[in-house]
Homo-oligomer: A and B are copies of this chain.
C-alpha cells in the first residue's frame, strides 16, 4: 500500500470509488438475508421476518453513526486494547476527505462501508430466532448487539486492539462478523427454545420453508454482495490483492456447493437444494477470514470443507434439539470458526494458536453477552409469542397482514 503522503489523487480516487461500490454490494446482502430467511420460514411468518430484516439495516446504520463507529475505531487505546470510545456522532472534519486520512478511502467512505457491515450480525440472529420471537424485544436486542457488542469485538482486531497485537488474522470477518452473529443466533435459539412441534420425543419434524425460489435469490445476492464484503476489505483497489480475493471468494463458494451436494447426497440419498444453498454460504463464510493470504487451490480446500461441515452441523443441532429455522448457526458460526482456524493452518505466517485465542475470546464474549441480553429480556419483557400467536403465525397476529394474496 502506498503511504498517505505519496499516493496520487488518481489512485486515491479509484481506491475510494471501490470502497463505495463495495458498500452498495454489502448493502444488497441485506436483501439477500431477507430473501434467504423469508424463503426458509413458513408462509405465516414471512412478513414478520421481512419486517425485521428491513428494520435491521436502518437501525444498524443509525446506531453506527451515533456510536458504533467510534467504539470500533476509537483511535486511542484506553483500557489496554479492550475498549475505547471516540465520542458520539460522525465527524464533518475536512481532514477526513483527503488521502491524508487514508490512502484507500475518505473518512465518510470508511464510516459507511463499516456501517453497512455492522447490522449483518443482527441479521444473522434474526434467522435463528424466526417464527417465535416477539418483535420489540428482538429490536432491543438488535440495538444493543449492533451498537455495543459488535463494535467492541471489532475494535479488538480491526480497531487495532489486543487481538491485533496478539497476531490474530481475520481478513473480512469469518469471526468478527459471521461468528459473532452466529454466537448470537445460538444464544437466541437456546433461550427461546424450539418451535412448537419441531421436536416430538426423539424425532425431528422438518418444517419446510415456504419458497425455495425466494431463498435461492437470497443466496445468489449474498454471493454477489460478498464480492464487496471481501473485496472491499482489501481497503483499496490494489490489483494483485483484489484479484486474488475475487478468485478465492469465488472458488470457495463453488467448492462449498459441490461438497455440500455430495455430502448431503451420501447422508440423505437425495438432491437437497437447501443443503447446496447453505453449502455456498458456508463456503463464503469459510473463505472470509483468509481470502487475502491463501492460494486459489487452498480456497477450494477451505470452501470445500465448509460445504462438508454444513449437513453434519445441521444434523448435529437437530440432534441436540436446538431449533434454527434457516441454519444460521451452521453457516455463520460453524463455518466462521472453521474459516478462522483454516487461516491459521493455510495462511502464510499466520499462527493457529493466535487464531484459537481469537475464536475463544470472541466466542466467549459474543455468546455470553447475547445470552445475557436474551435472558434479561426473557425475564422482563418476555421474548416469546404466545402459543396461539405461534400457531396462527406472526403475520396475522403481530402485523395484521398476509404476505401473499395468491
Contacts and interface: CB of A to CB of B under 8 A. Distances in A.
A75 B54 CA distance: 44
A47 interface: yes
Given A213-B214, A300-B62, A55 B243 contact: no
Interface in A227-242: 227-228, 231, 237-240, 242
A180 B168 CA distance: 48
Interface stretch (A158-166, A268-276, A358-366, A371-379): A268-276
Of listed A238, A250, A280, residue having the most chain B CB within 10 A: A250
A273 B38 contact: no
A315 interface: no
B216 A50 contact: yes
A350 to B, nearest CB: 17
A223 B29 CA distance: 12
Contacts of A23: 227, 246, 250
A404 B212 contact: yes
A59 B406 CA distance: 31
Interface string A255-285: 1011001000000001111101100100000
Interface stretch (A101-109, A144-152, A188-196, A319-327): A101-109
Interface stretch (A14-22, A169-177, A329-337, A383-391): A14-22
Contacts of A185: none
Interface residues of A, number: 108
Interface in A1-19: 8-18
A60 B255 CA distance: 11
A318 interface: no
Number of copies: 3
B399 A272 contact: yes
Interface stretch (A89-97, A122-130, A197-205, A338-346): A89-97
A234 B271 CA distance: 39
A243 B399 contact: no
A97 B243 contact: yes
Contact of A57 (B89, B97, B106, B254): B254
A270 B228 CA distance: 36
Contacts of A276: 51, 54-55
A237 B237 CA distance: 14
Nearest to A249: B112
Contacts of A42: 405
Contacts of A295: 92
Given A227-B24, A250-B61, A254-B57, A217 B217 contact: yes
Interface string A40-71: 00110011001100110111111001000000
A115 interface: yes
Interface in A111-142: 111-112, 115-116, 135
Given A13-B11, A217-B31, A271-B135, A243 B112 contact: yes
22 contacts: A13-B14, A13-B238, A23-B246, A24-B227, A27-B223, A31-B216, A46-B212, A54-B219, A57-B254, A58-B257, A60-B254, A65-B300, A106-B239, A109-B246, A112-B243, A112-B247, A115-B250, A209-B405, A210-B406, A270-B398, A270-B400, A404-B406
Which 4 A-B pairs have CB atoms at the shortest separation, nearest pair first?
A: A31-B220, A108-B243, A58-B257, A97-B240
